[in-house]
Structure 1
Amino acid sequence: MSINDADHVVTVPAVHRRRLPAFLRSPGGVFGAGWLVLVIVLSFTAGFWRPYGINEQDLANRFALPGADHWLGTDEMGRDLLSRILTAGAQPLLTSALTVLVAFGLGIPMALLAAEHGPRFERWFSRLSEILLALPGMIILLAVIGAVGVRLNIVMTVLGVMISAAVYRVMLGVAKSVRQRLYVDAARVNGLGSLRVNVKYVVPGMATVMAVQAAQLFGIAILIQSGLAFMGFGPPSPQPSWGGMIGDASQQVYNAPWLMVPTGVVLALTVVAANALADAIAGQVAGERPVARRRRRKATRGGAEAREGETFAADTVPADQVPADTVPADRAPVLDVRDLTVAVDDGPATVTDVSFSLRAGRVLGLVGESGCGKTMTARALIGLLPDGVAVSGGSIGWQGRDLAALPEDGLRAIRGREIAMISQEPMVALDPMFSVAYQLTVPIRRFRGVGRGEARRIAAELLNQVGIVDAEGVLRSYPHQLSGGMAQRVAIALALTGRPKLLIADEPTTALDVTVQAEILSLLRALVRDTGLSVLIVSHDLGVVADICDDIAVMYAGQVVESGAAAAVLDDPRMPYTMALLAANPHVPEGQPVPERLACIPGTVPPPADWPAGCRFADRCRFAAPECSAPIPLFSAHESGSVRCVRVDEIDRTHLTWEAESLGAEEAADTGVSS
């Protein structure tokens, strides 16, 4: 299998043998799993091999020590301890498993619902869990025994209900963490419903923690059941039980101390084995994955020739293969955002009155510092806002529909099919548990209604379209086997599975080096040119924006402060904030002298709760004046552009630049504009 990037091609040998799970390669994991398997097998098959009946008495050998006839000795009635111990093991193992099943059957769905729906569900589930945790467990179990008798299935089911509160509290945090991962958002963008997202992505992401908790709770359930049997609330005599046998042995501790040892050791080892297995699984989570042995790599034959003068596959797609429905019919805006406001529930707005439009076949860049609302605006377009955050005003026009007013079902029909998203950090956006082939073919089959074989063929074509030469090799790979640039290409191919008309790219080149970044930008340009795709790019890198964008909207503190054609905004900025961003840009144009130091913008972006009523940039702006304290609308500037600044004419007339003002107030005074 070969994995290639535009700047290198390496061969990674395919591994066909299956390796043991990591937790089974540690001594604790081997002991825990081995002992539990041994006890389970011997207990459930005891009826076929045990040497004596469980009630068969040999009164001549009462209190016998281990020997050839009785490997573990006999009890006070001459009954064989080995036969009774292993026969008694089936019931605690089964009922303890029932307890774990009930606890997880209640706790996991509660955690998933609370993580998905936020405070609306979490408030009620948390109060319920607090009530269950506050109840005295042993007293409740004794009360149940008093009501229904020693019916262990019912008693252990009640115990599972009580333990479900602890499972919910632990798994809620895990579920929230998994739902924040980019590959879960990618699944939602691809149109998966809530149930399928939870089953395919969230629950597998929680699987290791679930295994750890299940192993621990299994041991706890065995101890609780044995404790009940020790107190006389176990199976009736003469039916054996571990707790009952320990209770009987405790009455003979002075006459026959050995009697307590076999049953006690088996019980203790079973509980220790469950906890050792849990520790081994937990250690697998905390530690790094084992690194595969490095093998000698050989360059793919012809790789150098293929790279020379390389053109992306998207550049060479025949015109007759371009989907007809992606070619724009006119130049009217395909996306028209008007006065968009996004706010936290019972909290401040994070985006206010944002307006911009995007035409078919063009690229719009949202620019600004971190915390200016760029990503929040982009995610609001397809309803992927974090829990507790929602669109509270404005409209999102998309082909005659207002996306801001659509319910979740309506948005799900649009995600992936009409609007797709590329998240930053491609290695996180791809699910590490599934191969590239699986992650591409599943949405292809859902969006295009094709079979498995046809979906794989389309997946290979998409990989070729995004510049991957060895498509079949990459399809067999897992995300951790890909380089950063390769993973980003796969993420772009994943976004194209539904043939969208709009692609939202949130910092698509942040995690990539400069060379691969240029290749990804070239790929996006080729896709726009050849398919008529519209792209909305979120970035803080003005070099990226200048390279690919046709239009720019500069955002600051949740507002658009300047917008227009990219050339006009970058060559002739009118807003002081835009000037400051350009002055702080480390990219120096060819032929221009390198400054001794870059200009910087003092202060930081204010949080939403501290936004002033007037210009939100005034506290950091060297051109601020008293009139900046009043609310400021957008003024016309550039061609089809606008700027949010009351001093735009003065600043333009005096040809002030941010660099000039950064030299000091005294030199700025010579320009004729007060600071």
Structure 2
Amino acid sequence: MTETGAKESIVPIETPDQAARSGVFKRLLKNPLGLVAMIILLIVILAGIFGPLIAPFDPNKADLVNALTGPGTAGHLLGTDSAGRDVFSRLLVGAQSTLLAAALAAIVAVAIGLPTGLMAGYFGGWFDSVASWCTNVLMSLPAIIILLAASAALGRSVWISMTVFGILMSPGIFRLTRTSVQAVRNELYVDAARVAGLSTASIIGRHILFVVRAPLIIQTSIVCGIAIAIQAALEFLGLGDPLTPTWGVMLNEGFINIYSSPILAVWPGVAISLTVGSFVVLGNALRDALEDSPKVKRAKSIKLTPPKTESITAVELAASDHLLTVSRLGVGYPQEGGTTKTVVSDVSFHLDRGEVLGIVGESGSGKSQTAFSILGLLPAEAEITGGSITFDGIPLVSAEGRQLSQGRLSELRGKRIAYIPQEPMSNLDPNFTIGYQLVRPLTRVLGLSKEDAQKRALELLTIVGITNPQRTFNAYPHEVSGGMAQRVLIAGAVSCNPDLLIADEPTTALDVTVQAEVLDLLRDLQARFNMGVVLVTHNFGVVADLCDRVVVMQNGRVVESGDVRTILRSPQERYTQTLLSAMLEGKTPMSLLTVAPPASDTPASDSAVKVGLS
């Protein structure tokens, strides 16, 4: 591809993050409650920042001559307290320490609860058990007693109190995050990201964290509001520093003088109520702006010069006996009572470079479990009970049934081993554009720049037969058809020129016409990139159309294997014969239901209805 042609084919695109930021702010402004809450908090924040500079009096300067004066007396806008200190100045300056204390509590709670919740929800296991036990212990402690004890032991410091309070609030963040992560960690698009070669940190940081952002925003805003209320409550009880002007100290001062000057309690009470309510309302409004917004794309038409496909070349492959060897593989799941349910037993086959191997069998025969064993995507509770898997001389599963670590597998997945899933729509993350999901593996796995990755993604979309790749690049998964989504997944699978492609029933969710197109596409790509392909299917028609050799599985075992022509023409096993006989090809179809026309001398209501089968 020429340099000029590359420049012509790419039109600068507003990134999803840029579009999201601008769109969220606009939708937030359109929410009346959110707008009011944002204005109130903005006023409070500005008061906290500039309060010490614009305060008309020193907030700690006592003037006993003017003690307990009313609003507007002697230049005091809101009056004075029992020591003659200006209430308005203390209210302005107190906003700073109050907001900083709330921010400290929220930061501590999120810093502890969010990462532990992400790891416990995603990895589970012993870390989940230990973290859950610790949070249960924290939640069982009476918070106000702990805060009082901390204040007595460590001193009357609002910063110490809010740090302890943040620790006590972290279990709520932890549980919320853990539950949200557990709901999505087994989604197919997470598995697709793992197969694409993305690291665990990248998957958690983008695909997983993106899901928990909405409840996390609301929970954080609630923590800020509660922190302000708790801080005020502690200082109201006299546990604050009387020399530090805060709203809680002012509230305590107002309560002491409730009979002589009841208005002193009104000003800090109003400030605390408005600030706490604004935090909660703004959190909900921000959640609505992030989650309930329509996905809007630029309507500007884009002119695209189709890129030349010669720039993508097949990987130079070293000669070896077999690209993939599976020997006596066994997979099982532990059951109650210490037993193990075996779903794959003694499965053996091999795959050469540039060859297509079909694994065929009915549902539950162990086809997908075998494929997932190669990919390292078995559920956490699954066990490799025996056998070995070797990919190009690299042992993925040892003879003792030990699987290669996920870290080593991630070095192969996305680079040398690719995967095409069965459900195209479920394997695309609905929160990101198709272009983003194609570009990110190219930048993270191959190390391409964002511009080069975008060019490569558009080129791949053209190769897989998408007529308007730029429009598809900008679209979200829900805006494309199932057939187009499958083509997108195929483009992503071959984006890094893999040596091995595992396709798990890639045409099951598609109609007949699109199935034929996808099979033609797979055949063309397999020849173009000289890949070895493992095709998992229950359809012998697909096997006959695409495969060189076939493995027939039943009840987790291989019952027959060999050349496709030999198996189709002369199957030796009764199960294989049964599968072949279940195909519709060559069968007499059922005709349409027909209604015989009524005779001229017979009323239409008495006419007989004839149903015929050809």
Q: Aligning the two structures, in what range does the TM-score lie when normalised by the shorter sequence?
A: 0.7 to 0.9
- Matching of residue 333 in structure 1 with residue 322 in structure 2: yes
Match of 1:209 in 2: 215
For 2:384 and 2:57, how far apart are their aligned partners in 1?
73
Match for residue 273 of structure 2 among 261, 268, 276: 268
Q: CA contact under 8 A between 2:297 and 2:474: conserved in structure 1?
A: no
Pick aligned residue for 1:342 from 327, 331, 342: 331
Amino acid at match of 2:369: M
Taking the aligned partners of 1:177 and 1:170, their CA distance within structure 2 comes to 11
Q: Does 1:538 align with 2:536?
A: yes
TM-score, length-scaled by structure 2: 0.81
Paired residues of 2:104 and 2:163 also in contact (CA < 8 A): yes
Structure 1 position 535, deviation (Å): 1.7
Shift of 1:419: 0.7
Distance 1:495 1:171 in 2: 31
Is residue 2:530 matched to residue 1:525?
Answer: no
CA distance in structure 2 between the aligned counterparts of 1:34 and 1:577, rounded to whole angstroms: 72
Residue matched to 1:410: 408
Distance across 2 between alignment mates of 1:537 and 1:360: 14
2:357 aligns with 364
Deviation at 1:156, TM superposition (A): 1.7
The aligned counterpart of 2:605 is none
Q: Letter of the 2:325 partner, please give it.
A: D
| CA drift at 1:404 | 0.9
Asked if 1 retains the 8 angstrom alpha-carbon contact of 2:323 and 2:352, the reply is yes
Q: Which position in structure 2 is the counterpart of 1:100?
A: 106
Question: Which residue, out of 206, 220, 241, partners 1:235?
Answer: 241
Alignment of 1:154-233 (within 5 A): 154-233=160-239
The letter for the 2-side match of 1:503 is L
Residue 526 of structure 1: CA displacement?
A: 0.6
Residue 377 of structure 1, CA deviation = 1.9
Match of 1:666 in 2: none
Q: How does 1:480-499 map to 2 (within 5 A)?
A: 480-499=478-497
1:551 corresponding residue in structure 2? 549
Aligned to 2:382: 389
**Take 1:575 and 1:253, find their aligned partners in 2: how far apart are those partners?**
94
> Where does residue 460 of structure 1 map in the other structure?
458
- CA spacing shift, 1:38–1:403, aligned 2, 3 Å: same
Structure 1 residue 280, shift from structure 2 partner: 2.9
Kindly provide the CA deviation profile for residues 474-508 of structure 1, in whole angstroms up to 9, marking residues without a partner as x.
44444454443333222222222321111112232
What is the one-letter code of the residue matched to 1:290?
A: P
Q: Aligned equivalents of 1:255 and 1:30: distance in 2?
A: 38
* Contact 2:24–2:289 under 8 Å retained in 1: no
1:500-515 matches, cutoff 5 A: 500-515=498-513
The offset of 1:523, in angstroms, is 0.9
The amino acid across from 2:589 in the alignment is V
CA distance, structure 1, for counterparts of residue 295 and residue 526 of structure 2? 39
Q: Using the TM superposition, give the Cα deviation of residue 217 of structure 1 relative to its aligned residue in structure 2, in angstroms.
A: 1.5
Deviation at 1:234, TM superposition (A): 1.4
Q: Describe how 1:146-161 pairs up with structure 2 within 5 A.
A: 146-161=152-167
Residue 596 of structure 2 corresponds to: none
CA displacement at 1:394 relative to structure 2: 0.8
Q: Which runs of 5+ in 2 are unaligned?
A: 1-12, 399-403, 593-614
C-alpha separation in 2, matches of 1:565 and 1:96: 70
Listed as ranges, the matches of 1:251-650 within 5 Å are 251-283=256-288, 288-290=292-294, 292=296, 322-325=313-316, 329=319, 332-344=321-333, 347-405=340-398, 406-569=404-567, 578=576, 581=579, 588-589=584-585, 592-594=587-589
The alignment's C-alpha RMSD in Å is: 3.6
Contact 1:184 1:197 in 2 (8 A): yes
> Would you say 1:111 and 2:155 are equivalent positions?
no
Measure, in 2, the Cα distance between the counterparts of 1:179 and 1:200: 12
Q: 1:322 to 1:93 in 2, by over 3 A?
A: same
| Whole-angstrom CA distance in 2 between matches of 1:152 and 1:273 | 22
Q: State how far apart, in whole Å, the 1-side matches of 2:29 and 2:511 are.
A: 38
Q: 1:517 deviation in Å?
A: 3.1
**Cα pair 1:440 1:494 within 8 Å, conserved:** yes
Relative distance call for 1:270 and 1:568 in structure 2 (3 A) is farther
CA distance in 2, matches of 1:59, 1:511: 85
Q: Compute the displacement of 1:228 (Å).
A: 0.9
The residue identity in structure 2 corresponding to 1:394 is G
Structure 1: 5+ residue stretches without partners? 1-12, 307-312, 598-675
Shift, 1:210, TM fit: 2.1
Give the Cα–Cα distance (whole angstroms) in 1 for the partners of residues 112 and 270 of structure 2: 33
Tell me which amino acid in the other structure corresponds to 1:144. Answer: A
Residue in structure 2 matched with residue 131 of structure 1 by the alignment: 137
- Using the alignment, how far apart are the partners of 1:70 and 1:282 within structure 2? 41
Q: Alignment partner of 2:102: what SS?
A: helix
Match for 2:550: what amino acid? I
Change (3 A) 1:111 1:569: farther
Question: In the aligned structure 1, how far is the partner of 2:534 from the partner of 2:280?
Answer: 51
For 1:602, the equivalent position in structure 2 comes to none
Give CA deviations for 1:457-487 in whole Å, capped at 9, x if unaligned: 3333322222234444444444454443333
Equivalence for 1:607 = none
Match of 1:27 among 32, 47, 58: 32
Aligned-partner Cα distance in 2 for 1:460–1:20: 28
One-letter amino acid of the structure 1 residue matched with residue 415 of structure 2: R
Q: Per-residue CA shift, 1:183-223, capped at 9, x if unaligned?
A: 33233223333333333433233322322221121112222
- 8 A contact 2:356–2:535 mirrored in 1: yes
Q: Shift of residue 339 of structure 1?
A: 1.7
Aligned to 1:671: none
Tell me which of 69, 79, 88 is aligned to 1:82.
Answer: 88
**Alpha carbons of structure 1 residues 547 and 33: separation in structure 2 relative to 1, 3 Å:** farther
In the alignment, the residues of structure 1 paired with residue 563 and residue 29 of structure 2 have an alpha-carbon distance, to the nearest angstrom, of 60
Residue 20 of structure 1 aligns to a residue in which SS?
A: helix
Q: d(CA) in 2 for partners of 1:447 and 1:221?
A: 43
Residue 241 of structure 2 aligns to a residue whose secondary structure is coil
Which one is further off, 467-476 or 226-235?
A: 467-476
TM-score, normalising length from structure 1? 0.74
Measured at CA, do residues 291 and 479 of structure 1 come closer, stay the same or move farther in structure 2, by a change above 3 Å? closer
Identity over aligned pairs, percent: 39
Q: Residue by residue, what CA displacement relative to the aligned partner does 1:357-397 show, whole Å, maximum 9, x if unpaired?
A: 22322323333444443332212102122223232311112
Change (3 A) 1:154 1:577: farther
The answer to whether the 8 Å contact 1:64/1:75 transfers is no
CA distance in 2, matches of 1:27, 1:554: 63
Distance in 1 (CA, whole Å) between partners of 2:217 and 2:259 is: 42
